[in-house]
Structure 1
């Protein structure tokens, strides 16, 4: 088996003593079709390449004044079966009026540390791969922090090491616009990885930072993959071949990423459908296309969303429209991001979304071994390789 293949017993003994990860198992039979049993699902490592702890129904987001999560938020997270997720932190937008972007990012990082500390019975901060292993053993949710825009480092490469010491283990090179590193999805796809961008990639490799190329333009993406000595991730995106939006990745980008040993996470976002009205059928189609292009060892999920169910869809539509309009007004919105979108799959949303996706893939004939890889084991392998 190569390094991106399924974990063997000997590999587990070295990397995760005491952590019991299944190696597939049989599908439980029902009267009509094969389904993934709850028991099997609970034995898996489930990972979300980009998520957020919030209750979409709660005006406070489900976070109380003392940084404690509400009972609803805690219950839904624990019931989801999620073992680890990456939380966006730092300052993703081009400018925060009146603020220094480095200073703002440190402040936002501090807020996420407070949230994790206040809920330490449920959450644990990931500073190395061993923290992920221990969290699984302790039945806690491992939280790994990551930037969605590396403009936060300014022109100082030493900031990369500073942010790593503050818990940032993943750095996305660009957001939708252009920065000192390269071009994002909203600008010309011909913008290159800059000279400083090459230096930043080298520094991130030296610091064992996982480089994320979500939101990047095509040329910047391809050149960053080539420049990196380590595998990279495209943590939350879709396939351009199925929905022609700049936020989605071309087959060429996906192949180059997979050839480098990287990981592609399919998001639960409207960009999966040409009309921006995506549902789980689109999600499954993008996962299957990614498997065909990348191979099953290089595909994962990155929802770009939360984990609570929807109590009132009309209220959620209103709040989503307000957020979308705010993003459009400040220039952060991507092509295809428009009023009327829902930023989740309406037919698989909430605490059961990953389990429901597993069964949708099983219904399509995918084996439990493959499904386990997509839901988290591929990500587990990549994080072990980059962060050990």
Structure 2
């Protein structure tokens, strides 16, 4: 299972810490420029010269939910110099950038009527979200969707603005608003036309998932009984997305197609909303060989809190254990958050998402016949307003400021800076 961080004993429970964090208004403030913790060379900030290889917190009580022993060792690569912890990332000031790499809420639908959902994003201090512009829509329908999102952003410009570059994200977040990245959970909008990659990139699309739940002309999905792998056309699409600065997202993509895409991509790729299958077995989650390939590619995974794919890791303590396991497996620079929140969609939206126009029979997606509808929330991280709870649980797990800042948003910002291109 690898190393697991024991909770640091702070004299208060995780629940108490979260209750305190959610009751205090938080504002984003400014984001430090080129902070040292964004460096991929972690050895420069670790106590690598210490002769002690493992630390034991003998006074830390055993957690009933994680099963971690009080004498569980903490490896040296978790213990950073206190002098290198950015004080501006402390709870009092909250200048840390929060990024959600996948939001499923259809905010474009009612324009002004969805203000409560936008206000949840603002209340959580979230500085950037990748939204779901579409699933099954063809090119014309997808352009209509982009227009709706543009109108939504204009109507709510006090809270959000569409971003096209990493610099846009920083500027918008520094203004106290949320940067919106336009993303699609399927590239059905291409309609087999390679030239549409650049067209949609120029219209602002920054993220494209290669497949969504079924086989396509690109490759296989995570639910196919036989994954075809990346097609010849799919290889052209991946390289064209690389050229145009459109992120290749592999969250719902089959494992064979995912490995093919990672190997074929000239740029880092993303898994925007998934979890490690070794901890939470599910077709939507990624096996360790995929996570290892993602690391070698320089990509990032957004760990999800969607009920159907978190397995038994539903509490704050257990979910932070899942995060720690993933960090231990692929490194701190490759892990972020992709909640997969749907704040307002409801049953009809869920049915469109899962079934589209391609089947008469009911499709259950990540659910099942006995578990078909919208899922109950986890109780501690239920919508964007509770993003501070994720920060709190990471700190309680033992991550230091620099590491928390990377997981909460810094890794995604650096990833976007490397992959977005101006055409």
Change beyond 3 A, Cα 1:236–1:320: same
User: Which SS does the other structure have where 1:132 is aligned?
Assistant: helix
Q: Please, which runs of 5 or more residues in structure 2 have no aligned partner?
A: 1-33, 40-83
Change beyond 3 A, Cα 1:137–1:62: same
User: Which SS does the other structure have where 2:383 is aligned?
Assistant: coil
Q: Cα offset for 1:355?
A: 0.7
2:119 to 75, 78, 91: 75
Q: Which residue of 1 aligns with 2:335?
A: 299
Q: Cα offset for 1:129?
A: 2.1
Q: How does 1:66-145 map to 2 (within 5 A)?
A: 67-90=111-134, 92-93=135-136, 101-145=138-182
1:39 to 85, 88, 92: 92
Q: How does 1:251-330 map to 2 (within 5 A)?
A: 251-274=288-311, 278-306=314-342, 319=346, 323=350, 327=354
1:248 to 280, 285, 288: 285
> Is residue 49 of structure 1 aligned with residue 101 of structure 2?
yes
Q: Which residue of 1 aligns with 2:14?
A: none
CA contact (8 A) 1:146 1:168 kept: yes
1:206 to 224, 243, 247: 243
Change beyond 3 A, Cα 1:367–1:109: same
Counterparts of 1:171 and 1:247 in 2: how far apart (Å)?
A: 17
> Is residue 165 of structure 1 aligned with residue 202 of structure 2?
yes
Q: Cα offset for 1:78?
A: 1.6
User: Which SS does the other structure have where 2:129 is aligned?
Assistant: strand
Q: Cα offset for 1:322?
A: 8.8
Change beyond 3 A, Cα 1:107–1:25: same
> Is residue 334 of structure 1 aligned with residue 368 of structure 2?
no
**Root-mean-square deviation (CA), in Å?**
2.9
Change beyond 3 A, Cα 1:238–1:330: farther
TM-score normalised to structure 2 length: 0.73
1:223-277, Cα deviation, whole Å (9 max, x unpaired): 10000010010000011001211100011101111111100001111233447x9
CA contact (8 A) 1:321 1:339 kept: no
Counterparts of 1:206 and 1:4 in 2: how far apart (Å)?
A: 28
The alignment covers a number of residue pairs equal to 338
Q: Please, which runs of 5 or more residues in structure 1 have no aligned partner?
A: 9-22, 28-35, 55-60, 309-315
CA contact (8 A) 2:221 2:227 kept: no
Counterparts of 2:170 and 2:388 in 1: how far apart (Å)?
A: 21
Change beyond 3 A, Cα 1:206–1:320: same
User: Which SS does the other structure have where 1:73 is aligned?
Assistant: helix
CA contact (8 A) 1:258 1:294 kept: yes
1:227 to 257, 261, 264: 264
Change beyond 3 A, Cα 1:302–1:274: closer
Q: Cα offset for 1:154?
A: 1.7
2:404 to 371, 382, 385: 371
Change beyond 3 A, Cα 1:369–1:302: same
TM-score normalised to structure 1 length: 0.79
CA contact (8 A) 2:108 2:148 kept: no
Change beyond 3 A, Cα 1:320–1:367: farther
Q: How does 1:143-182 map to 2 (within 5 A)?
A: 143-182=180-219
Of 104-113 and 343-352, deviating more is 343-352
